[in-house]
Structures are given as structure tokens and as C-alpha cells.
A and B are shown apart, each in its own frame.
Chain A
Amino acid sequence: MNLRGYILGTMAANLALVAALLWQGAQLPAPGLRGGVTVTTNVVTEVLVEASPRPAVVSVPGSPPFRWEQLESTNHLQFLTNLLAIGCPPETARDILDARVADDFRARLRELTRPLQARFWDAAAENREFKELFEEPELETQIDALKAERKRVSAEVEGAAPRGAKPAERAIEMELRHLTAEKEAAFSELASRNLKERQAVDRDPAITSAAEKAAKRRELFTRHQAELRGLLTEAEWTERELRLSPQANQVRHLRGFNATPDELRALAQTLREFDIANPPPARQPQRPADDPDLRAKQAEREALRKAFLKGRLGEAGFAAVERGSDPRFGTLLKLARRLEQPSETAAHWLALQTAAQEQARLTRENAALAGAARAVALLAIRAETERTLQAAVGPRGWGGYLRHAGDWLGQLTQ
């Protein structure tokens, strides 16, 4: 037998051995399927309750983890320093410290006044005003010392973490809003400078006589007006003058008055025109307050005013202005709004009131009526007025009417 024959023989034997190996492996039982064993797995979830009561959102850096106690100190300044050292924003640190300093002060003050609190009612019955209850010399000394300490600590805290100054906010006056922003700023700045100059004159100790001070004020006023006027055009100045006038104030406060801005301005100009041409009669200092001459002049001017305004605005326009200036109408308008009623409804209620009050006035002034008859007549006016008004206002609003606008009903019979 040659070498090649041996090699073929051993390879054939190897193949037979591999086949035997595979057969034996296939005969072994599967590990998970051992006969007759049932495996049950129970999963029990156990929650461990840890000491920390709050859900932590961050993992706290540091080793060991950072705790707030590390910052705390009974020394306020030290506490502040610790806060700032870990990067606490100065504003937040101040918020914390300001509250803490104040609360510390309050707690100590409370301790100081505790004995007096026990005597609160005795002190109140004594000869003291309420705000003077704790005014006792010894206690006041202690309180003053406490206040001084608070002031000192607050100053230290301010020094260590100063609060940033708030940006100055400048309100633009309503009367100057017709100007451009640049012109308004220049005007306001000049007005502010002028005010300081006036105040300086008022405080100037070198000006001793009242006459000298008055002359100086007049001179300043003239110069300041000229300076201010120089900044504006003629139209801008006129508009400002109108806006500052009492007539502008009056038209801006008319209630239930519908108008465009141009109409409102025109109305203010009309009122101003009349007032400039017809200044109110001045009261003579030596005459009494109820001077009949003065009253006659006032009545005459009022009649003139009505005629002038009716001529300019017409009957309806004049009535709207008169009603809009009446404070009673303002209240009635609010009530109408609450009841979802139009302003005309409020005008109707006002007309009823005016008519009833006029009727009552005439009844009171009626010399032909005896006392009892007058009282009966007034009672009748009141009863009729209440009935009419109640129907006009309605049940939902009647309680509110009596509460806020009904005082005059009681006065009808007086």
C-alpha cells in the first residue's frame, strides 16, 4: 500500500467520525425543554422611598453634591458674598438679602414690642392716639438702635451688590404730542431747565424783598415764554395754547358726546373765543360773597353764553354740550352701559330728573301754597317721579339707580 492509499483511508475515517459526532449531538435534549419543569417568573416592583421629598430636576454638581446650607450664614454680608461667589446674579442676591434683612429686623422688633402687645388694650384706653401706643422712651431708644443697625446692614449690602439704576422713563405730555419727537424733547428739556431756574430764584437768599422776587419771576417768565415760543412754529404754539386751556379740558371731559378730533378742537376754540371776549365778572374784594350785582352780571353773561353757543352749535349741539358737562349724566351713562342701554336712555333718565326737580322747585317757591299743602304736593311729585323712573330704568337697574343716582329723590320732599 502506498502513501496515497493511507491518506485516502484516514480521510474516509475522518468523514465517518464527523458523521457520528453530528448524530450524537442531535440526540442530546434541548436545554430549555427539559421534561416536566414549569418555570414561572414573578417581577416585583419595589419603590424605594428616599429621604429627599422633592423631585430633583437637576443632578447637583459637586462632590459631595452642593447643598444650600453651604451658602447660609447668620452674617448677612457673608451670606451675600457666598451667593455672589457661586454666580448668583447680583439682583437676585439683593432680592434675597433685602427680604432677609427686613424680616430679621421685623422679628427683632416684634420681640421688643411683645410686652407692650400684652398691654395693648390698657394702652388704648389711656391717653394715647392709636399710632402713639408704643411710644415709650426706653422702647423708642431700642427701636431707634435697631433701625440704625438695619440701615447700616442695608448700606453694607448695597455696597457689596449695588442695584442697577433703572433707566429713566420720560413721559411725553399729552399737550405736546402734536410735535415731532425731536421738537418735543427739545421743548421739554428747555421747560425743565426753566423750571430749575425759577426754583433757584425762589430759593435765592440774596433776594430778600417780595417785590424784588416778584419782579425777578416776571422777568424770568417773559424770557422763558420767548425761549419756548422760539422753538415752535406759530401753528404749533397756538395748538399748545389751546390744549392747555380750560376750554380744552372741558370738551375732553364731555360725557356721551360723539365728535371727531377736529370737531372737538373746533368746540374748544369756540368756547375759548367766547371766554376771551366775555371774561367772567370779577368779585369786588370789599363786597360780600352773595353780592346781588355780581349775581346779576353772572346771569347776564350766562344768557349771553347760551345764545352764543346755540348760534354756533345749534339747539341739539348746545344741548349735547350742556348734558355732557353735567356730572349726573356721567353717572347715568355708566348705569346705562351696565344695563347695555344706549346713551339716549341715560339722557331720557336725566330729562325726567331735571323735570321733577324743576317741578319741585316751583312748588317750594309757590307762595300760594300753605305748608301742609306744599308738603303734600312735593310728596305727590316724588311718588309720580319714582313710578315713572322705575318704569324707565327697569327692575334690573332700579336698585343700582337708587344706590348710585337716587339721592335726589329723597331731597324732592325736603
Chain B
Amino acid sequence: MRSGLTLVLSLALTGALLVMNVALHRTRQAAPGPEADRKVTVTTKRLVRNLPPPPAAVAPTNPPPFHWSALESPDYATYAANLRAVGCPERTLRDILLPDIEKLYADRKAELADGPEDRFWETADQRDARQRARDARLRALELEKRALIRQLLGADWNFAALKELRSESLASGIAEVLLGFTDVAKTDYLFTTHQMFERDAQALQTATEGILLDEDLPKLHALRDGFEATLARGLAPAEVEELRLRLAALEGMEHLQRRNGVAVTGAELREIAKLRADTHDMLAKALNLDDELYPAELRAKGEAAFAELLRRFLGAERFADVERAKDQLFRELFQSTDQQGVSKAALVQAYEARRAAEEQARQVRADAQLSTEERTLLLAALRAQTSQALARSLGPVGFGSYLKQHGQQFTNSLSLPVTRVRSDLQRTDVITVK
């Protein structure tokens, strides 16, 4: 029985092997023979995208809601890149990163503060040396912070400057008026740039303990030029020019107003500001570097050149008005009698009398040969004489108006300095003109 089964299986195997041999034989017959050489070129494309690779895991059908923690990273560069990846606007990115960086560096700076040790009986030199070392470390931190901000935001933004601009302080009010010819973004740029360069100038002063050697001056010049170049990168040339003129109007031209007896139009004032900006380095002044960069003689030459250009521009008569308007004595006289119909000639006469009296009073006070009693008598006589001269020039109404507003200053400036006030000795030496 078993032998029969073995025979059947062996026969089946014989059949299968026969079929396979026949099939293989046919295949051999069908195979091509040797051919001439041919070339085949296969081009494969490998697509590379600048996007991150897709997540390995398949997104769940019901994904979890987005959470801020997906953006945050202890590394600022990663944090910034994550925020940009979700489309956070650059301005908002700045407002997120700057305060964060500021806090980080404030903490690091605080670590440099003095500890609770008792250093009371320390010499001034020891204290100064410690302060200098601390200043150097603070400066290094400041520069490190600045480099980080530049790396992350591509510009030298300054949190403190932006905070100041965004406050309702006097400084931000002045910036609003002074820089209002630009848009808010340019104002930010301008103000930040100024603060940064001003800090650099202060840092140089701190590092040198305020003692500048000749070898430091090129650094200061470079700082001033860097300020100008940085402004030029962010503002149009016309805007830089307008800034220079407005800075000139703020500094040394305050008396050039109709309220001080100087009749100028807005267009004329702008031209005068240009004359001033051409004879003074307004950008150096804006960084408080004017005195360090230019010797006193050079500054005096600039002032003289401006005066000459102004005289030519306004003519002799109006130039004289400008010169008088510089003097507080004239401004007091002009402003207090402006509405009283006092002629210009009378006003000038009163001013000359007032100025002469001031000079005489100075001489009396400085005369060491006089006793206190003699000085007191001479000054009383001078006050009476000047009062009469002013009353004659200004008329009773004009003089009354002047005394009402500036009577106290008038009396004080033509008296000995008051050392003790006793109510029983108080009396007024100002005569009243009726």
C-alpha cells in the first residue's frame, strides 16, 4: 500500500520536472542573441524643498489645539524662527523679544551690583576702582545684548528708547514735535539710533573717567560720523536735513521769535536755521560731543560766522533786534509792554537805561573800597534814577505794566544780595509813577 503511494508521488514529480525542462528550453530558445552596443541614459529628479520634513507621525484625525509652548524655546533664535514660521509680523516679534531680552540682561546686570558686605570704610580710590570694573562689565553686557538683538531682529533696536517714546513723558512729547515730519516707524528708528550713539558716547566718557586724551578724539569723530551714516541709512536726505534744521531751531535760536521783538516769518526762520546748522555741528551737539570734538576757538569761530551770515540775511536793523532779544532784560521789557503801545524807539531807550544800570550795579557790588552801607546807598540811588529813566521812556502805563510783571527782579538786580529777611525792615524802593 505504501509502495503504491510512493510510486504515484515519484511519477508526479517526474511529470513536473519534465514540464519545467520543456518550459526552460523554450525560454532559452526565445532569448535574444548578441547585439551591437547601445547606450541608455536614465535621468532621476531629486526634489529638495526648503520646508522642514513632514512629521514622522501621521496627523491625528482630531489634532490637539495649538499651544504657545509649541513656539517657545530657551534659544532665542529658535523662538524667533518659530514665531516667523507661523506668520508673526516683524513688529510684533520685536515687541515680544525686546522686553524678554531686556529682562534677561537686567537680571544679569543686577548680579553685578554690590552685595551686602560692609564696605563703608573703603577709600575713594578703592570704591572708584570697583566702580570702573563694574562699568566695564556692564558695558560688555550691553554690547552683548546689542549683538543678540541685531542677530535676531536684523537691526539695533533698543527697548528703553521705544519705551520712552511710547510713554507720555516730556521727552516723548518733544520727540513728537521734533520728529513729527516722519512716520512713527522712522521716529522709532531715529530715536533708537540717537539713544544708541548717545550711550556709546557716554560709555567712552565713563571708560576714560571723563578725561579725554588726544588719542581719544578720532574715536569720538568716528562715533559722530557713524551717527550720521546710520541716520542716512534709515531716512531720506531731505529728512536728515529737516532734522538738522529742527535741532538748530531748538538750540541757540530760542530768542528768534516775534514774542521777543524779532519779526521773522516761518520761511525766514527755516533759512536762519540752515545758516546755523551750516556753521555748527548739530549732530555732534545732539550727542553732547560738541565741546569735546571742537576746541573753544573753533566753536567761537562758528558762532561768529553764524552772526555774520545772519546780519547779512536780516539786514542791520533786524539783526540789532536779534541781538537785543538775546538779553533777558530786553525780553522782559518787550513782553510786558507789548500790548501797551510803546514805540520801538522808546523800548530800545528803556532797555539801554536798564542795561547800563545793571552794569553800574555790578561795579558797585564788586568795589572792595566801599563799605556795605555805602554800597546800599549807591544802589538805592541807582534804582531811583533807573526807575525815572524807564518811566520816561515807557510812559506810566508801560512802566506800570513792567513793574507789575518784573518789579521784584528789577529791585533785586539793583540791590545787595539779601542775606536775612526781617519783616520790620522790609520796604520797597520802587517808586510808583502816577
Q: Which residues of A does B touch, CB under 8 Å?
A: 3-4, 6-7, 10-11, 13-14, 17-18, 20-21, 24-25, 27-29, 34-50, 52, 54-63, 65-69, 83, 86-89, 92, 95-96, 98-100, 102-103, 106-107, 109-110, 113-114, 116-117, 119-131, 133-134, 147, 172, 174-175, 177-178, 181, 243, 248, 252-259, 261-262, 264-265, 285-286, 288-290, 324, 331, 333-335, 337-339, 396-397, 399-400, 403-404
Contacts and interface: CB of A to CB of B under 8 A. Distances in A.
A60 to B, nearest CB: 6
B159 to A, nearest CB: 10
Interface in B224-273: 246, 249-250, 254, 256-259, 264-270
16 contacts: A28-B28, A36-B36, A36-B37, A39-B41, A43-B46, A47-B48, A55-B50, A57-B78, A57-B85, A59-B52, A63-B63, A88-B68, A96-B92, A110-B176, A286-B420, A338-B211
B143 interface: no
Contact of B50 (A6, A50, A285, A397): A50
B35 interface: yes
Contacts of B39: 37-40
A55 B176 contact: no
Contact of A127 (B35, B99, B257): B257
Interface stretch (B13-21, B280-288, B406-414): B13-21
A375 to B, nearest CB: 21
Q: Which 5 pairs from chain A and chain B are nearest by CB?
A: A122-B266, A261-B121, A17-B17, A102-B166, A121-B266
A404 B210 CA distance: 9
Interface string B4-34: 1011001101100110110011011001101
Given A58-B85, A68-B89, A17 B21 contact: yes
Contacts of A397: 213
A34 B31 CA distance: 11
Given A29-B31, A92-B100, A288-B372, A178 B257 contact: no
A304 to B, nearest CB: 26
Contacts of B372: 288, 290
A38 B40 contact: yes
B84 interface: yes
A125 B210 contact: no
B3 interface: yes
B64 A61 contact: yes
A67 B87 contact: yes
A290 B32 CA distance: 132
Given A58-B70, A122-B265, A404-B212, A128 B123 contact: no
B38 A59 contact: no
Given A36-B35, A60-B70, A264-B121, A125 B266 contact: yes
